[in-house]
Structure 1
Amino acid sequence: MTPHSIEQAIYGLVSTPVLHLVDRHDMLTCLIRNGPLPARAVADQLGLDADTVDRLLLVCVAFGILRRDAAGAYCLVEQALPLFDRRDARYIGGFVEHLATGAAERMERLGEYLRRGKEAVDASRETPYDIFYRDEESTREFMDAMWHLSHGVSRELAVLADLPAAGLLVDAGGANGPFAAAALQHSPGLRAVVFDLPPVRPHLTRAALAAGVADRVDFVAGDFFTENLPPGDLIALGYVMSNWPDEQCLHILRNAYRACAVGGRVLVMERLFDDDRNGPLATSVMNLLMQLETRGRHRTVAEYVALLRAAGFDDCTVRRSGGDKHLIIGHKPVDDREPSASAPGNERA
């Protein structure tokens, strides 16, 4: 008999598109609001084919997302409920859509990378953000993925960050504001500026209105490789560092250092490898997708701390959330010394 872990690996190719289908066609929403229900009832309520619905839901049972009782009625397992309830801040449907419709299409390039290397294969390709922001549909899909991937855990990260009662947060590369919105909701005296590329502006405006923080967040269009970040008391970098190799990360952090008030902090929010880099699974998978979608990679705490210290930040600490995204904090020293130009070493928190 095939071991469970190997079976999951073999058939994992099916799980993401199935999850995307049952979410996109409202099957999970139907079960959350009206379940437990048999497949026929789900199909009748949604106007779908009952046989196909049943087959899809059976796959979800096998992968541990649904339960099926003796009468054949389906419901979500407790852990899955908030992740697929569109009314919950932890909803991840947009991220699943990104994996199913975007990342999966790029997997074929891995064979080319193996033979020729990423640099040679991607030499004539568009840059990652030219692809993400190619048109309104692709921009919306990327913004939805960033929100659903980040906003739920950002509410926990905002607590872990010990945000001040007042001041200015600069969310660099902040997309449609999943962390900025969580920070402003947590700290009513705080204001925020989201710094990102021009196509992001309308998506931030909509998200900020929906989150009830539009009166306290502004948008500044720019590129942190060619322009200075707006000055602030806190500089947030959420899922930014993992998009770039070390040299570009150091450039971004030095830009953040210049923008950060003396005695202020930089908040780096990322998935983290274990110290031995043997996991967790989600970080290992996303590390591979970073090669396909960006120029970056995921790192250990020690690697992030080394980059922070090379940029001039000190007193670096890590605070772990209950999710996949964690917080590494660096302080700008009160003597405001110039950051070293040396390459990062192997320092640890």
Structure 2
Amino acid sequence: METTLEIAPKKVISPDHIMKIGMGFWASKTLLTAVKMDLFTKLGEDSLSREELQQSLGLHPRSSADFFDALVSLGLLHRNGKDWEEKYCNTLETSIFLVRTSPAYVGGILEMANDRMYGFWGNLEEGLRTGQPQNEIKQTGKSGFEAIYAQSDVLEQFLNGMAGAQVGNFMALANAFNFGAYRSLCDIGGANATLSICLVQSHPHLQCLSLDLPPVAPIAARNVEQAGLTGKIQIGALDFLTQPFPAAEVITMGNILHDWNLETKKMLIRKAYEALPENGALVVIENIIDDQRRENTFGLLMSLNMLIETEGGFDYTYADFNEWATEAGFHSTTKVPLAGPTSAVIAYK
């Protein structure tokens, strides 16, 4: 009698996943440096040899090949041709998202990550042990927001970075939510008015009011004018921590609630409830953490970034938002997935 013995293949246990995460700052800093140098923008639609790209960026020849080929290996550049005829060019993704002249450019937030956040994250351990922010406040005594808003060039970089990271979500929101049922909208903490611009371009019937602190107004007004929407979008000043919200049928907040502690989060939701009419809606755009807190890695890491950048901010789950909105008086809530790790959570009055 013949007997067959099946042996399951041995599972190979490797530290590869651990090492990729642990040494991930190598790849991160390589990309951030390339963005800072405008490498992708200088390539544009062209193909350049190593010598041409090296000269364009003003690099020393010692490690330029390693730098460019690391970007190829990371899937951020293509290299075509053979030997001395090899040339580098953008991938489809980098040509869309990392060429500065592209309307979908997201490099602003990466520039900010390079110039500000990268160094601050070196103090994550101290932040976890003390619960204190690890940004400019350690050197100046001023919060990160105060430091950013005090310098016009830094402020504009910050606003452009946030806009670049969010424009895909704003466009997704324009298609995912029934704005046809509403006529007026107020964007609280509207930054450079990118959300209002995206919504009005898709829903011309909307009258939008974009509100932020006074230093933001000239930047937002210029952005609206360049979009040709001056008559459709009003720019105003508001300190949303101390002043009431103006009345509107829809109130939006993009990456606002996560900056603040629980008490302030609830206060802002309550202000929105008080400003909305019956059947009005509060729309909040954030990297909403899944209720089981297992899947949205970006949302969880963003919450750690709030530790680095703020005195009490944190990201949250849909269940958290539903609890806070119900407590404020809203009769129902829903969650709408947008792009990547981001969602809109909506509360109806």
TM-score w.r.t. length of structure 1: 0.86
Aligned to 2:340: 323
Find out whether 1:12 has 2:24 as its counterpart. Answer: yes
Paired residue type of 2:29: P
Aligned to 1:27: 39
**2: CA distance, partners of 1:74 / 1:286:** 33
Contact 1:181–1:211 (Cα < 8 Å) also in 2: yes
**1: CA distance, partners of 2:42 / 2:95:** 12
3-state DSSP of counterpart to 1:129: helix
3-state DSSP of counterpart to 2:101: coil
Contact 1:197–1:222 (Cα < 8 Å) also in 2: yes
3-state DSSP of counterpart to 1:262: coil
Contact 1:165–1:189 (Cα < 8 Å) also in 2: no
Contact 2:131–2:307 (Cα < 8 Å) also in 1: no
Q: How does 1:65-80 map to 2 (within 5 A)?
A: 65-69=76-80, 71=82, 72-80=86-94
Aligned to 1:56: 67
Report the Cα offset of residue 4 of structure 1.
4.1
Q: How does 1:123-134 map to 2 (within 5 A)?
A: 125-134=141-150
Q: How does 1:117-128 map to 2 (within 5 A)?
A: 117-118=131-132, 125-128=141-144
Q: Which of 77-86 and 256-265 deviates more?
A: 77-86
Contact 1:44–1:50 (Cα < 8 Å) also in 2: no
Unaligned runs of 5+ in 2: 1-12
3-state DSSP of counterpart to 2:186: strand
**2: CA distance, partners of 1:147 / 1:327:** 16
Report the Cα offset of residue 77 of structure 1.
3.4
Contact 1:177–1:208 (Cα < 8 Å) also in 2: yes
Find out whether 1:41 has 2:52 as its counterpart. Answer: yes
Paired residue type of 2:348: H
Aligned to 2:9: none
Aligned to 1:82: 96
Instruction: Give aligned-pair identity as a percent.
Output: 26
Aligned to 1:184: 200
Residues 261-294 of structure 1: per-residue CA shift (max 9 Å, x gap): 2211110101022222123332222221111112
Q: How does 1:1-349 map to 2 (within 5 A)?
A: 3-35=15-47, 37-45=48-56, 48-69=59-80, 71=82, 72-118=86-132, 125-164=141-180, 167-294=183-310, 295-332=312-349
Contact 1:166–1:191 (Cα < 8 Å) also in 2: no
**2: CA distance, partners of 1:4 / 1:214:** 53
Q: How many residues align?
A: 331
Paired residue type of 1:24: K
Paired residue type of 1:252: L
Q: Which of 169-178 and 54-63 deviates more?
A: 54-63
Paired residue type of 1:84: L
Residues 55-90 of structure 1: per-residue CA shift (max 9 Å, x gap): 322222232322334624333333443221333333
3-state DSSP of counterpart to 1:319: strand
Contact 2:182–2:249 (Cα < 8 Å) also in 1: no
Distance 1:110 1:24, change over 3 A: closer
